[in-house]
Structure 1
Amino acid sequence: MAYKDLDTFFDPDLKLPIRGKLYTVPAPGAPEAARLRKQVVAEGVPPVEQVGEALKILGAVEDEAGVWLGGVYDEMVADNIPWPMIFHAGRTAILHYGFTPDMAESHWALAQLGRLVDLEKATEFLAQIKPKT
């Protein structure tokens, strides 16, 4: 069996649906992916203080005036996507490329869970459940 050229059927880019549109976050090269993996393992998902990482993965570059421009970030801004959604997309892309696509998908769907559920009470409840033996 001969292998087909991977480029003919495999899309490495991340497609994120927001308000009925698919935004494409291009896959980083190997050195950037390695840097992201180290960061995610050491620090987890970037907190709000690390906005630059989320913008960088979305293709934005900070200019001399401190303004971020470029990439899919510009597309989202032009489409009036609110900041929390843009930041969520960036954090998801960091997890997708820096950890696993499965973890990124869970983050995409469940990131707001902490606002909907008292996670401390849920954790305490789960700790009390004893497995069946």
Structure 2
Amino acid sequence: MGTRLHDLDAYWSPGLTLTVRGREYTLPLPSAELGLWCRRLAEVTGEVHNVSSEQEIQAAVARIEALPQLPGDLSLPERVLGDVYQQMADNGVEDPYIQFCGQTGYIWIIGGEDAAERYWTSGGRPEAQRPTNRKERRAQNRTRTGGSRTAEANTTPPPASTSGTTSPPTQGRKSRGRRKAR
């Protein structure tokens, strides 16, 4: 006799819970059709971004048009949020918030809970989590490699000497090179 696995309900949460303006909204697990449709859409969308010729663009668009039609004339947020869409609208949640929740739900369907959380916490801008300047990037790289440098190695070296060199004068500006002794 083979191994018997427990009921999946013991491992899966009922859905994805989003908090908007202090209220919790739980997106239900997507139907098999919606999950497959979202994954196919993501795959084809990725192809569109990687095409280079007119022929490849036409083939990618044809694949998008060939995606199976889901029942109803619904937007992506309406489809992904399900009944939660109407709950949010009834509670006066603004459209940009609903759209963002729908996009987060889509990310959840195609990428899982971790991907949805990264999208949510970055405000939909994954680049927002990256270091913004060279100093922060260097600090992050040192943290990743686990190495630490001495304080001396972290100081900026002094600028190279420019004595004995001059730049040609520019129009409307005097040369800042050394003056010749008279």
Category of TM-score, reference length = shorter chain:
0.5 to 0.7
Q: Structure 1 112/96 Cα, relative in aligned 2: closer, same or farther at 3 Å?
A: closer
TM-score between both structures, scaled by the size of structure 1: 0.64
* CA contact 1:40–1:95 (8 Å) conserved in 2: no
Higher helix share: 1
Residue matched to 1:79: 91
Question: Measured at CA, do residues 40 and 111 of structure 1 come closer, stay the same or move farther in structure 2, by a change above 3 Å?
Answer: farther
- The SS at the match of 2:93 is coil
- Further displaced range: 76-85 or 103-112: 103-112
> In the alignment, which residue of structure 2 is the partner of 1:65?
none
Larger Rg: 2
Q: Which consecutive residues of structure 1, in runs of 5 or more, have no partner in the other structure? A: 45-50, 60-70
Distance in 1 (CA, whole Å) between partners of 2:28 and 2:115 is 18
| Residue pairs, 1:1-80, within 5 angstroms | 3-8=5-10, 10-43=12-45, 52-59=75-82, 71-80=83-92
Shift of 1:6: 2.7
Q: Choose between structure 1 and 2 for higher RCO, CA contacts under 8 A separated by at least 6 residues.
A: 1
Does structure 1 retain, via aligned residues, the 8 Å contact 2:27–2:105?
Answer: yes
How many matched pairs? 110
TM-score under structure 2 normalisation?
Answer: 0.49
Q: Give identity over the alignment, percent.
A: 27
CA distance in 1, matches of 2:75, 2:134: 36
Question: How far apart are 1:12 and its partner, in Å?
Answer: 3.8
Structure 1 stretches of at least 4 aligned residues deviating more than 6 Å after TM superposition? none
Compared CA separation, residues 9 and 106, structure 1 to 2 (3 A): closer
Q: CA RMSD in A?
A: 3.4
In the TM superposition, what is the alpha-carbon distance from 1:11 to its structure 2 partner? Answer: 2.2
Using the TM superposition, give the Cα deviation of residue 113 of structure 1 relative to its aligned residue in structure 2, in angstroms: 4.5
Q: Tell me the distance in 2 between the aligned counterparts of 1:111 and 1:28.
A: 23
Long gaps (5+) in structure 2: 47-73, 146-182
Distance 2:110 2:96 in 1: 21
Question: Helix, strand or coil: the match of 1:11?
Answer: coil
